[in-house]
Structure 1
Amino acid sequence: MAATREGATAIARSTKRSSAARRHVTVLLCILSATAILYSWNLATSGYSDYYSTAAKSMSVSWKAFFFGAFDPQSTITLDKLSGFLIPQALSARIFGFSSWSIALPQVLEGLVTVAAAYYVFSRWSGRLGAAVGALSLASAPLMISMFSHGMEDALLTMWTTLAIAAWQRAIDSERMGWLLGAGILVGLGFQAKMAQAWLVLPALCVGYVWMSHRPRTVKLRDVTWCLIATIVVSLSWMTAMTLIPSAQRPYFDGSIDNNIFSTVLGYNGINRFFSNAVPGALPGDPLFHPAGNAAIVGAVPGTIAHTPFKFFLPQYATQIGWFFPVAAAGLILGIAWVRTHRWPDMQRNLKAGLAMCSLLLISVGGVLSAMSLPHTAYLAAVMLPVAGLTGIGATLLIRAYRQETRWRLALPVAVGVQTVWCLVLLRSFPAFAAFLTAPVAALGSLGTVALAFHAFRPERIRRLLGVASILAVLGAALTPTVWTLSTLNPAFAGTADDAYGGPQVAAVAARKLVRHAAYGIGLDSNRSIQPTESIEASAFAYAQHRTSDQWALATDSWRSAAPMILRGQTRVLPIGGFTSRAPSPTAAQFRELVAAGRVRFVLLSPAEARTGVYHPNLDALTGWTMGHCQIVSPDLYLTAQLRAAAAGVTWDTLYDCDA
């Protein structure tokens, strides 16, 4: 009889686990389906990044450019960073053909993997409800929708780091070092996407493992050491492989002055960002010009808080990642209280792991982002996982406290009230767009708060009130974030391929313009297809390529001029100067040798506003030699009357013929 009862109990437990697993799968599939719609809605209109999309195009037509991450098809110069984030885009373009949707498609898939991994992690921290709320808040954040529906580097980085945290959670659950080693490998893969930014999660992974694992201290320290070794090996593997190839057989490494990829990655994109010229071989900063950054949003951040965590509460940032900050704060506060009082043993260890990881990520990743100027809003994606995780924990604990705990019953109505006020505060920055939201949000939030508070004191007498109060509270808290999420379905509010920003912009952001590149658009997002300069450059190239069989039909002193030609499928374009216009690729002496050897005949010199920065002595020497030794090609020879009329008032590029 005892054996029979034990068998029946085992079967019941197995059935219960299977039923719970099926519910998890069902919920996750629903969330992923909605996420796929959000992320893929604007694929056809996602657009291009002049700089990165050009490299993706080159990598899709040349395996050499693919390996090195070259900007041009003939692999004369690389990007000014590692190009791992472009590998999925280049492969997609090679398979489906180069288009805006084919290079945006990989980011959609990366977003789905990220949400699925986050759901798994959140389910360990706060159960099915917390997983659903956390995954939905992460997937529907305007920043995440914009980022995962465009081709940008932060998407792949976010996927790898989220998977690394999932592996960390498995290491905590299983007490097996292999999972922690896997987390280190995944961080190393994230390094290929966005270099040292991936390493910002390492302190959280290592400290969190030592904190949460039950293994002996010496064993934990050994495991962490192997994790760090795995991260470093994987991070440096690609750079090492490229360095082993002789310089004559590979492109020049942009971002360096010594043609060294380590100088580019660890100096120009790393240490030198914080300590000027700390790595001698890295390309130094422009001594005469310090731009505010590529994103228009940078100029709207007040200087007094630009380097503090308070900037995350500004409307231009909070509308992207922080609609549920009050719920996340409640999760942190209640979670700490519950862990300290040892309530709910069924959630104790997993809840502690979630609080530990979220807190450590906010300290390590959030601390660095707080201190630095953010050139792109996409950087904020790095803090979305801990914010979403705390949101899921907050929703779970608030509901549990309301149902079971007398001491904390009022936490839920207080949180709903604070959430309502927070949404109303953010709406004040959007008087035109959000005018219709203020009244319903205030009404629903207030009624929900009052009803929940009233029911908290009289739960037995007015049971029906709980359902009405819950509906009002959810509608009031979620109405504004939902409107912002749905607004991203409109291409005008979906962001660009160069910066993730979903929903309407605050007035200070919308008014911000980088005047220096006015002829080419804002920052990298030049939208050159509407500029007459693109047609002029295409006509100049067509003229040059029919008059020479040299290795390069034309050389240009600006990547902005080279980009539209390469995107059109031209391979005989020599870009000079790299992204900053200051890379010695080629030097003035090397360029003269190319002309003398008959490898370059035509040179397209851009107006000054097409260059990045204002200090580039090598390029000045090269263009000075060109203007002194080559002849200007009359625009009448390659421009039609209609095109000249359309470009009236525009300062276009000048074509030179260096044929001796």
Structure 2
Amino acid sequence: MTATLARPAEPTRRRERTWFRPAFAGLLVLTALIDLWDLGAQGDANPFYAAAVQASTRNPVAWLFAAVDAPGFITVDKPPADNWWMGLWANLFGFSPWSMLIPQALLGIGSVALLVLAVRRWSGDVAAIGAGAVLAVTPVVVIMSRFDDPDPMLTFLLVAAAYTLVRAVDAGTRAATAWMVATGLLIGLGFLAKMGVALLVLPAFTVVVLVAASGSWARRVGQLLLGGVGIVVGAGWFLALVALWPASQRPWIGGSDDDSLLQLAVGYNGLSRLQGHGGGGRPGGFGGGDAAGLSRLFGGQFAGQIAWLLPAALVALVALLWVTRAAPRTDRLRAATLLWGGWLLVSGAVFSFMAGTVHSYYTIVMAPAVAALVAIGAHVGWQRRETTGARVLLAVGVLLTAAWSFVLLDRAPTFVPWVRWLVLVAGLVAAVVLLLPTGLARRGGVVAAVTLGLVGALGGTTAWAVDTVVKPHTSADSPGPTVHDARSDRAAAARHGAPGGGAGFGGRTDPQVAALLRTATTQWSAATPTTMAASSLELASGTSVMGLGGFSGNDPTPTLAAFESDVDHGLIRYYVVPTALEHGDVSRQGGFGRGKAIAPIQQWVTSHYAGRQVGGETVYDLTGSRH
């Protein structure tokens, strides 16, 4: 093999352009069909974020800070960028599952489009369309594009940043500066979507600029510094706004110990996620999943989310690094390998070894890198198929993916049984055709290799994606059919230790409770432990509910004195005790719902007011006479 891959000859580029735009348009239409199909069946998706979108339609301050309740008592435990986007649509068209989730689907479609454009500049039309197609049928991308979590926004912004980085590396001096600043701004906005996760691309981006950009060493370092300024500006303006806005006139920053967005980033959404603790006595590990280690991504729900083409992506990365080992510094295949390969390795390592809270849907951040590497590797291998080494790698990649897909599909016994056999046989036959030089000498052999190879490589992930679309999902952790293996069973057992049932505490709100809250005329119809419980009550009743202690119940707000003052001023009508909390079913989650703010308030309420059963829940009327 030669060390570098020359750009396709100009006649080939012209021939490819005749089909690229129709193919690109068709890919986007297909992606839209996947992401928008029966989207309303998802309902409120994640009630925690849905409540913040609903609140955004009633109070611009709640929209600005992503407060869970319209009066603005407390925010979600993430920055508000995604809420800005969904809240904008909800304000324009009214709050509903469709107005909330269509914007998320558009982010998924936009991510596919931007990945195509980013890959195309350095790797050509074929690899670009291939990368977009792989991303479109990656299960974690499909389910998150149909959910209201901030991950689709984060992924869109990072893919956009990759595109602007590619433009910066290719551009002249002045244009490169503008593109690098844009890259930094997009990463900074990504920080405002999901904080430190947005920084996972920085090592790869830095290496690409230092290695592949034109100009002197000092110029390349200067471009990086300008990108860093863009990050600071893109994220820093909102951090400054939170710090300067009077705390008494904005919501408490949910998830923080001191009402600080920076502390939220470093603690609850930083060290807590990575190390399993984040200071302030906060528990880590909520969300379950397999134990930390290299095998995490290949077991349980993680495998069904992202692992379908992960082995092939790693094979492609190694092969591309070998092919470009002696390439010039500015070779674009080398730059693409460093960009997508570095992105994959860093993000994969973090999600594999983080010891705190981890959900399988976090891996959506890896999906663009996996898709790009698979498509670029396959395209380069196909261009060099006259060599034995390229044919062997193509055959290995297809057969490995088909066999791995067979294993994953076999873990889901409710799935159509013959799909896994179709994928395996197609991959096996494609591998044989690819290994035989004579098999690719005729047009029939080429058609067979390409068709069967696509079935073997993409059949499993596509089938899982289709199952994700046709079935409503109440959790972003479980796209496709139910996975059954020893490791996923352990993960499920960990998840089942989470709160469930009662007053929306991970379960369904009783209609009688919702009807009672609708009779309230106070600023908050009720207060309840945790914003997770409050969000479901809000969505069911259409009223504002105060979530004490934030998402986990461990936020130090409100104080007992502040709560008593709100009650005395007639701001809160009812106090609802979730059944799970009342019965102590949540104690296994390290004090979930038993935070320092909640315990004294609940003790004060139960000692001063008489409770009554409403639809199976215990409700206290705070406007009644005290004991």
Range class of TM-score, shorter chain: 0.7 to 0.9
Q: 1:253 to 1:325 in 2, by over 3 A?
A: closer
Aligned counterpart, 1:384: 367
Asked if 1:47 corresponds to 2:26, the answer is no
Q: 1:520 to 1:37 in 2, by over 3 A?
A: farther
1:612-640 Cα distance to aligned partner (Å, 9 max, x none): 715423322112222222333x55xxx5x
1:408-419 aligned within 5 A: 408-419=390-401
Is the Cα contact below 8 Å between 1:160 and 1:187 reproduced in 2? yes
Task: Give the counterpart of 1:627 among 592, 599, 606.
Answer: 606
Q: Which amino acid aligns with 2:62?
A: A
Q: Secondary structure at the match of 2:141?
A: helix
Asked if 1:88 corresponds to 2:73, the answer is no
**Separation of aligned partners in 1, 2:295 and 2:146:** 28
How large is the Cα RMSD of the aligned pairs?
Answer: 2.9
Is the Cα contact below 8 Å between 1:604 and 1:656 reproduced in 2? no
Shift of 1:38: 0.2
Q: Any stretches of 5+ residues in structure 1 without a counterpart?
A: 1-12, 640-646
Aligned counterpart, 1:3: none
Q: Secondary structure at the match of 1:574?
A: strand
Q: Secondary structure at the match of 1:270?
A: helix
1:80-119 Cα distance to aligned partner (Å, 9 max, x none): 2212111111111111211111100111111111111100
**Separation of aligned partners in 2, 1:476 and 1:168:** 33
Aligned counterpart, 2:132: 135
Aligned counterpart, 1:208: 208
1:378-457 aligned within 5 A: 378-402=361-385, 404-454=386-436, 456=437
Q: Secondary structure at the match of 1:177?
A: helix
Return the TM-score normalized by structure 2: 0.88
Q: Which amino acid aligns with 1:472?
A: L
Shift of 1:46: 1.6
Aligned counterpart, 2:478: 501
Q: Secondary structure at the match of 1:78?
A: coil
Is the Cα contact below 8 Å between 2:134 and 2:458 reproduced in 1? no
**Separation of aligned partners in 2, 1:489 and 1:389:** 23
Asked if 1:580 corresponds to 2:552, the answer is yes
Aligned counterpart, 1:28: 24
Asked if 1:473 corresponds to 2:453, the answer is yes
Shift of 1:45: 0.8
Is the Cα contact below 8 Å between 1:553 and 1:600 reproduced in 2? yes
Q: 1:590 to 1:459 in 2, by over 3 A?
A: closer
Shift of 1:557: 3.5
Asked if 1:241 corresponds to 2:234, the answer is no
Q: 1:575 to 1:272 in 2, by over 3 A?
A: closer
84-93 or 20-29, larger mean C-alpha shift: 20-29
Is the Cα contact below 8 Å between 2:90 and 2:96 reproduced in 1? yes
Q: How many residues align?
A: 601
Q: 1:318 to 1:582 in 2, by over 3 A?
A: closer
Task: Give the counterpart of 2:310 among 305, 325, 345.
Answer: 325
Is the Cα contact below 8 Å between 1:334 and 1:397 reproduced in 2? no
Asked if 1:72 corresponds to 2:69, the answer is yes
**Separation of aligned partners in 2, 1:271 and 1:584:** 19
1:301-349 Cα distance to aligned partner (Å, 9 max, x none): 2xxxx3223222226323322322344234223322322365xx9x982
1:66-89 Cα distance to aligned partner (Å, 9 max, x none): 112111111122222212111111
Shift of 1:219: 1.2
Q: 1:86 to 1:310 in 2, by over 3 A?
A: same
Is the Cα contact below 8 Å between 1:125 and 1:393 reproduced in 2? no
Aligned counterpart, 1:309: 294
Task: Give the counterpart of 2:340 among 344, 358, 367.
Answer: 358
Q: Secondary structure at the match of 2:390?
A: coil
Question: In percent, how many aligned pairs have the same letter?
Answer: 26
Aligned counterpart, 1:167: 164
Q: 1:17 to 1:68 in 2, by over 3 A?
A: same
Is the Cα contact below 8 Å between 1:631 and 1:657 reproduced in 2? no
Is the Cα contact below 8 Å between 1:213 and 1:220 reproduced in 2? yes
Task: Give the counterpart of 2:105 among 104, 108, 120.
Answer: 108
**Separation of aligned partners in 1, 2:482 and 2:277:** 36
Q: 1:432 to 1:67 in 2, by over 3 A?
A: closer
Asked if 1:534 corresponds to 2:510, the answer is yes
Q: Any stretches of 5+ residues in structure 2 without a counterpart?
A: 1-8
Aligned counterpart, 1:486: 466
Is the Cα contact below 8 Å between 2:501 and 2:579 reproduced in 1? no
Q: 1:183 to 1:348 in 2, by over 3 A?
A: closer
391-400 or 591-600, larger mean C-alpha shift: 591-600
**Separation of aligned partners in 1, 2:52 and 2:557:** 16
Is the Cα contact below 8 Å between 1:208 and 1:360 reproduced in 2? no
Q: Secondary structure at the match of 1:489?
A: helix
Q: Secondary structure at the match of 1:505?
A: coil
Shift of 1:184: 0.5
Q: 1:29 to 1:554 in 2, by over 3 A?
A: same
Task: Give the counterpart of 2:566 among 575, 588, 594.
Answer: 594
1:223-260 Cα distance to aligned partner (Å, 9 max, x none): 11121122022212112112212122222222233323
**Separation of aligned partners in 2, 1:260 and 1:625:** 28
Aligned counterpart, 2:501: 519
Q: 1:597 to 1:330 in 2, by over 3 A?
A: closer
Shift of 1:364: 2.3
Shift of 1:122: 1.4
Shift of 1:357: 0.6
Aligned counterpart, 1:228: 228
**Separation of aligned partners in 1, 2:404 and 2:530:** 46
Shift of 1:571: 4.3
Q: Which amino acid aligns with 1:109?
A: L
590-599 or 227-236, larger mean C-alpha shift: 590-599
Shift of 1:576: 2.4
Q: Secondary structure at the match of 2:527?
A: strand
Q: 1:222 to 1:652 in 2, by over 3 A?
A: same
Is the Cα contact below 8 Å between 1:82 and 1:192 reproduced in 2? yes
**Separation of aligned partners in 2, 1:597 and 1:406:** 81
**Separation of aligned partners in 1, 2:342 and 2:263:** 30
Q: Secondary structure at the match of 1:604?
A: strand
**Separation of aligned partners in 1, 2:275 and 2:461:** 39
Q: 1:369 to 1:628 in 2, by over 3 A?
A: same
Q: Which amino acid aligns with 1:625?
A: W
Shift of 1:157: 0.2
Return the TM-score normalized by structure 1: 0.84
Is the Cα contact below 8 Å between 1:558 and 1:576 reproduced in 2? yes
Q: 1:94 to 1:401 in 2, by over 3 A?
A: same
1:152-196 Cα distance to aligned partner (Å, 9 max, x none): 110000000000011110011114222111100100011111011
Q: Which amino acid aligns with 2:602?
A: T
Q: Which amino acid aligns with 1:596?
A: D
**Separation of aligned partners in 1, 2:439 and 2:80:** 61
